[in-house]
């Protein structure tokens, strides 16, 4: 069947902090957001007591795209962001990113399989 609503889980270890040598004062919420190539719109943020972590909710800007992204990170390690993707993009590939990013995405699929074993498979076929 066409499992279009297959939740995807991808662990993204973002540790790139914006350096502020001149001290522009852009510290506060300098959470990394290089983007996976798609355009996301933050539509909410909540603190999940269950895991004692912050969770940000991002939705794909493409209309008709049911793809959603949820980012969670420990309050003590804002660099340790975990990104979970839900849904699939029904619109063209992210042509916004460079070809190098595409290569990185290739490895992501490799990690994707690993993440499923750790987080738990979406469609438990057991």
Partner DNA sequence: CGCATTTGACCCGCGC
Partner DNA sequence: GCGCGGGTCAAATGCG
Spell out, one character per residue from 59 to 98, where the chain touches DNA: x when CB under 7 A holds, - when not.
x-x------x-x----------------------------
Cβ-based nearer residue to DNA, 62 or 108: 62
On the CB side of 61, how many CA atoms lie within 13 Å of its CA? Answer: 8
Contact flag: residue 46 with DNA (CB under 7 A): yes
- How many residues sit in the footprint of DNA (CB under 7 A)? 19
Q: Which residues contact 62 (CB under 8 A, 6 or more apart)?
A: 38, 39, 89, 91
- Quote the least distance from Cβ 59 to DNA, whole Å: 6
Going 86 to 111 to 40 to 22, the CA torsion angle's sign is: positive
């Amino acid at each position: 069947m066409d499992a279009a609503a297959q939740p995807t889980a991808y662990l993204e270890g973002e540790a790139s902090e914006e350096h502020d040598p001149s001290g522009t004062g852009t510290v506060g919420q300098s959470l990394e957001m290089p983007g996976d190539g798609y355009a996301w719109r933050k539509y909410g943020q909540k603190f999940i007591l269950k895991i004692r972590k912050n969770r940000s909710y991002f939705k794909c800007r493409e209309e008709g795209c049911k793809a959603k992204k949820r980012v969670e990170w420990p309050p003590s390690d804002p660099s340790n962001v975990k990104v979970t993707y839900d849904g699939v993009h029904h619109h063209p590939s992210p042509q916004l990113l460079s070809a190098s990013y595409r290569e990185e995405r290739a490895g992501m699929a490799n990690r994707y399989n690993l993440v499923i074993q750790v987080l738990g498979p979406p469609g438990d076929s057991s």
